[in-house]
Structure 1
Amino acid sequence: MSSPPPSPSPAKWFKALRRTRLGEPCLKIYPLECVDLLRRARVAFQVGRTLKEGFRLAQLEAVVQMLEEHECDFVDALGRDLHKPKFETVVSELILVKNEALYANNNLKKWMQPQYVERNLSTTLDECLMVSEPLGVVFIMGNWCSPVQTCLVPLVGAIAAGNCAILSPSECTAHTAELLHRLIPFYLDNECFHVILAAANDLPEVVELKFDHVFFTGNRKEGSKIALAAACTLTPVTLILGGKNPCYVDQHCDIATAAQRIAWARFHNAGQSLAAPDYILCHADIQARLVQALKCCLNQFYGSDPRESRSYGRMVNLEIFNRTRSMLWRSGKVAVGGQVIEAEKYIAPTILTEVVESDPIMQQDVFGPVVPVLTVNNMDEAIVFINKQEKPLCVYAFSKNNEVISRLMSETSSGSFCSNDSVLQSLMVALPFGGVGASGMGSYHGRYSFDTFSHRKSCLLRGTRFECVTYLRYPPYEDRNLSLMSWACTLSQKSQGWCQIL
């Protein structure tokens, strides 16, 4: 067995014990512990522990078993961290992860099989195929918005692809992070899968330890730091980043239904979501009706006082609370909501009007229960407005007119698109989810998670026949040989590569 890698200089390492943030439990990690975990995972991978299909299936089944046997513990942890209702925890966190694991379990055999490609004249008797091989030891960093989902859905892909993995749940959701830290060793292989508890500021230094892939979900600022740290060791990254997700509401739509679906997506988990609509663009003549419809939905969802509702959450910490409150108070005019209680980290579901592009709410990512409603004169103006911004993670459009939907989908660029609903495209196991441009790179879910954590190796399995043809490529180079090869290339252009002679 090879000796452990040398420990980085102490100056680059974080302190062993972190101060408590805003009254929350301390999260701590020791440098040598992290180095040791990476070494153990590397050794386990090198001896082929994760390669067998049976091993991967067993680990996927263990993930499902963990979620089923400890549902109450996850509900309690997320309730403590986010005041998250049981319904939201079960549906948007636990069931989503179980669906991913079961889908991977049912399709793993097919995913692991080599993929054969078309042959040409020179490979008629050979095999041309792609083999999916695991990358090695991967590092997965979750996000506090959906702390179970953003850790375990990528982990499902990493397991299915045959990797070892180290997880880092968000320090902001300390109870959920500690629960994952406690449970995973009881269910998953103790040499291949580990959980570390680290502060966000220290994650770039962990990345510098050199993993085979880094998967990060979070905001752009932290994502940039992770990408820079990974670049130092040429480590590939997948970044799922937040952004200003626009929602266009056409004058020809069912306003009541649109309001319900927008309100559900925006105020779910107290607005703490990467995929929720960030702002609404609508025609001036329907703004009042839309705002009134949204107000009715909020009353229907959470009652006259959302603070008393068991279906409404809280901000994850005072830092996010203060940031959201500041944006709220310095932007537009409050049409609905606006109440805040610092002691409870409570911000009421809020709708803003009279918002301008230069307002703080339009300049920063919103991870809170606030949605501005802006007006446009027509769809062309809406498309221009959306395209002036950085490419978002999601674009939403509500209209009964298929041409409107088609134009919004084709004339804007985003990580994903959804018409006449919100967020659902980011949860579907059969669709890839990821960003583009400033909203990230790479994607995951289902087969796309498997591919993200795999290297698709091109393989050509040749025999020694046809040397009577391939000899044309060898020196000494003759004009006659070049003419024959040029002629073959001409035929190749007409027959889609069939007559390649090399």
Structure 2
Amino acid sequence: MKEAIHDLVEKQRTFFYKGDTRDITYRQKQLVRLREAIKSREEVILSALKKDLNKSEQEAFITEIGFIYNEIKDVLKNVDYWAAPRRQKTPITHLGSKSYIYQEPYGVALIIAPWNYPFHLAIAPAIGAIAAGNTVIIKPSELTPHTSTVIRELITDTFQEEYVAVVEGDAEVAKELISDKVNYIFFTGSVQVGKKVMEAAAKNLTPVTLELGGKSPAIVMSDANLKLAAKRIVWGKFTNAGQTCIAPDYILVQEKVRRKLLKLLVHYIKKLHGEDVRFNRDYPKIVTEKHVDRLAALIDDETKVYHGGEYDRVDRYFEPTILANVTEDDPIMGEEIFGPILPVLSFTNDYEAIEFVRRRPSPLALYLFTEDKGNEKYFFESLQFGGGCLNDTIMHIGTPYLPFGGIGESGMGAYHGKYSFDTFSHEKSIVRQTTKFDIPLRYSKSKRTLKTIRKIWE
């Protein structure tokens, strides 16, 4: 496997040096081919997602495929503008010259995708890599085998492997890919694995983007529209059975409205997913039995279960669950949940909520529910997080016009739209100097020259 991976990387590097990918029209044609290939296989993709995660057609299209179409449309419209050399200001010390920034593709880009949105999170970064002029190797997740197979077949039938290729396999395969001398690594996954990816990449000084996760809070103030807050939190949390890196991981609610919010959360769980979720054929499954076991261990204390708590290991079913009377020392608050369990904690004043979030690593997302502009300003300016929403959840990921990424332990780098193009591009600085004249100032070592330079720079 190691030799085969090395041969593939070298084959892609050779193709990159041929220069075809530097042509903007070539890139646009490849993205059109990708879009048409996806369209022709929509039913197959939806079927694979149903088999792997039991995603409904609507949820799968919205969260996995529709976003991809929107992303490609935006790139096709703008990539020629993004890729054009940009004229920059030139200081007086460089009289006679002009300054430019050229967008340079890195070369061979490796994309390691997760299992929770196995199609979306494999293809979306690939769009940026292609748009920027790179060759691409995609490593899908082995935990969603049906979708992985579809991705491999789609890419193999659409592109030559020296341009875009798929390598399937487990963690050992990913390790071999990372250890080879690719030119860029884009990883989406857990914090623990992200640290290993960065450590391995450092050995070759390979630049990386890490899209990780963390405990993303939903903060509900007493002045919030509680019905909409509950409805949107339930929707954002239990989409994909909570297996979303930016899902609300826990709720911080002002104590005076805690009981009312709890009742509304249960109301909207039943309204959006049915009175008995087990009979909802469109409710997603937990990815593996092992993950069910992990989630079950987090609700050992049945006295804290306010709603739900039922699960079936064999069927990979886990009921939407609300926990109340949770403290920050409980096991559920010690790690990212990544499943349909939602702990609810309370606070009395703004400062208390701020300090609660600050005691944890900076989250990938934060959701604030309030009608007060002062609260909005205070929370958004006081806390570090990757991105988020005011009075909504997870919607910020759906636009190609905003960067998506983390900070600190929730990741580094960003993508979507132009930010994907920028991520997979190196900004190369060029100074074009005139040959019509040559100013002698820089060659002189006299005190008068130094005095003149000081006047210019100071």
Q: TM-score, normalised by structure 1?
A: 0.89
Output the amino acid matched with 1:281. Answer: L
**Structure 2 CA distance for aligned equivalents of residues 328 and 183 of structure 1:** 40
1:118 Cα deviation from its structure 2 partner = 1.3
Match of 2:260 among 289, 304, 320: 289
Residue number in structure 2 paired with 1:18? none
**Whole-angstrom distance in 2 between the partners of 1:396 and 1:80:** 31
Paired residues of 2:2 and 2:176 also in contact (CA < 8 A): no
Residue of structure 2 aligned with 1:397, choices 342, 365, 368: 368
1:168: which partner in 2? 139
CA drift of 1:115 comes to 0.8
Matched, 1:236 2:214: no
SS of the residue corresponding to residue 264 of structure 2 reads helix
Deviations 1:311-346 (A, max 9, x none): 311100012111111112248611111101111011
What is the DSSP-based 3-state SS (H/G/I as helix, E as strand, rest coil) of the residue aligned with 1:458?
strand
2:5–2:176 CA contact under 8 A, matched in 1: no
Cα offset, 1:399, TM superposition = 0.5
What is the CA distance between 1:480 and its match in structure 2? 1.5
CA distance in 2, matches of 1:154, 1:386: 30
Cα-to-partner distance string for 1:1-29 (whole Å, 9 max, x where unaligned): xxxxxxxxxxxxxxxxxxxxxxxxxxxxx
How big is each residue's C-alpha offset from its partner over 1:74-99, in whole Å with a ceiling of 9 and x where there is no partner?
11111111111111110111001111
Q: Distance in 1 between matches of 2:171 and 2:391?
A: 36
TM-superposed CA distance for 1:466, in Å, is: 4.9
- CA positional deviation for 1:205: 2.8
In 1: Cα distance, 2:302 partner to 2:402 partner: 35
For residue 36 of structure 1, report the CA deviation from its aligned partner.
2.1
1:423 is matched with which residue: 381, 385, 394?
A: 394
Structure 1 residues 123 and 299: alpha-carbon distance in aligned structure 2, compared to 1, 3 A threshold:
same
Paired residue total: 458
For residues 201 and 436 of structure 1, the distance between their equivalents in structure 2, rounded to whole angstroms, comes to 27
Query: What residue in structure 1 maps to residue 166 of structure 2?
Result: 195
| Unaligned runs of at least 5 residues, structure 2 | none
CA RMSD of aligned residues (A): 1.3
Secondary structure, aligned partner of 2:37? helix
Instruction: Specify which of 432, 437, 441 is matched with residue 472 of structure 1.
Output: 441
In structure 2, C-alpha distance between the alignment counterparts of 1:432 and 1:167, rounded to whole Å: 22
Partner of 2:148: 177
| Mapped partners of 2:301, 2:204: distance in 1 | 42
- Counterpart of 1:275 in structure 2 is 246
Match of 1:251 in 2: 222
Which among 38, 41, 56 is matched to residue 85 of structure 1? 56
- Whole-angstrom CA distance in 2 between matches of 1:331 and 1:462: 73
Could you give the per-residue CA deviations for residues 241-266 of structure 1, whole angstroms, max 9, x where no partner exists? Answer: 01000110000011110011000000
2:2 aligned with 1:31, yes or no?
yes
SS of corresponding position for 1:252: coil
Cα displacement (A) at 1:310: 2.6
1:489 partnered with 2:454: no
Shift of 1:124: 4.8
Give me the whole-angstrom Cα distance separating, in 2, the residues matched to 1:54 and 1:287.
56
The answer to whether the Cα contact below 8 Å between 1:331 and 1:361 also exists between their aligned partners in 2 is no
User: What does 1:284-433 align with in structure 2 at a 5 Å threshold?
Assistant: 284-330=255-301, 333-433=304-404
Instruction: Report the residue type matching 1:258 in the other structure.
Output: A
Confirm or deny: 8 A CA contact 1:81 1:174 kept in the other structure.
yes
Deviation of 1:397 after TM superposition, in Å, equals 0.2
Quote the sequence identity (%). Answer: 35
TM-score, structure 2 as length reference: 0.98
Equivalent residues of 1:140, 1:166 under 8 A apart = yes
Distance in 2 between the 1:42 and 1:77 partners? 32
Separation in 1, partners of 2:326, 2:34: 45
Amino acid in the other structure paired with 1:257: L
In structure 2, the residue matched to 1:4 is none
Structure 2 residue aligned with 1:133: 104
**Partners of 1:60 and 1:102 within 8 A in 2:** no
C-alpha distance in 1, partners of 2:176/2:5?
A: 11
Tell me how far apart the structure 2 counterparts of residues 227 and 332 of structure 1 sit (CA, whole Å): 41
Contact 2:243–2:338, Cα closer than 8 Å, also in 1: yes
Amino acid paired to 1:138: A
